[in-house]
């Protein structure tokens, strides 16, 4: 019983303290907020950001070259027999890294916490 009364009084004291803090007067000298910057032009429709794909078919394989802004970023090689693989630009010194898929291997946990 004594614990309940203590908890109730603590909750009431906290409620009164929060109410008093919320009603405190703002400082006297406030600087006005600057105007927001202008909205940038829409870049979603920029053709330079769309990948340009060049497909080359050979007797034993099909090669797809992906270029963004004129720069070669990825190559997909699909052999006639076997699984396709990717050559992805490393981005540092012009080297290429071979990957069997574009999956980076990072698996984010997706646990079900609540279900209604």
Radius of gyration of the chain (CA): 30
Q: Is residue 19 part of a domain?
A: no
Q: Is residue 90 part of a domain?
A: yes
Q: Is residue 11 part of a domain?
A: no
Regarding pTM above 0.75, the answer is no
Q: Is residue 31 part of a domain?
A: no
What is the per-residue pLDDT across 1-57, written as a single tens digit (0 to 9) for each? 888 889 888 988 888 777 767 666 767 787 888 998 887 776 656 666 678 999 999
The span from the CA of 27 to the CA of 113, in Å, is 43
Q: Is residue 68 part of a domain?
A: yes
Q: Is residue 12 part of a domain?
A: no
Structural domains counted in the chain:
1
Residue 66 pLDDT: 92
What sign has the CA pseudo-torsion 41, 44, 45, 47?
positive
Q: Is residue 105 part of a domain?
A: no
Q: Is residue 39 part of a domain?
A: no
Question: Domain range holding 57?
Answer: 52-99
C-alpha distances in Å from residue 8, one per residue of 1, 75, 92: 11, 67, 63
């Amino acid at each position: 019983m004594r614990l309940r009364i203590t908890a109730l009084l603590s909750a009431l004291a906290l409620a009164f303290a929060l109410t008093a803090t919320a009603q405190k007067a703002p400082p006297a000298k406030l600087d006005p907020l600057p105007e927001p910057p202008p909205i940038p032009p829409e870049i979603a429709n920029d053709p330079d950001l769309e990948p340009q794909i060049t497909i080359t078919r050979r007797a034993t394989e099909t090669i797809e070259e992906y270029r963004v802004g004129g720069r070669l970023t990825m190559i997909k090689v699909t052999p006639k027999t076997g699984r396709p693989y990717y050559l992805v630009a490393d981005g540092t010194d012009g080297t290429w890294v071979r990957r069997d898929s574009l999956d980076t291997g990072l698996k984010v946990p997706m646990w079900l916490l609540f279900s209604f």
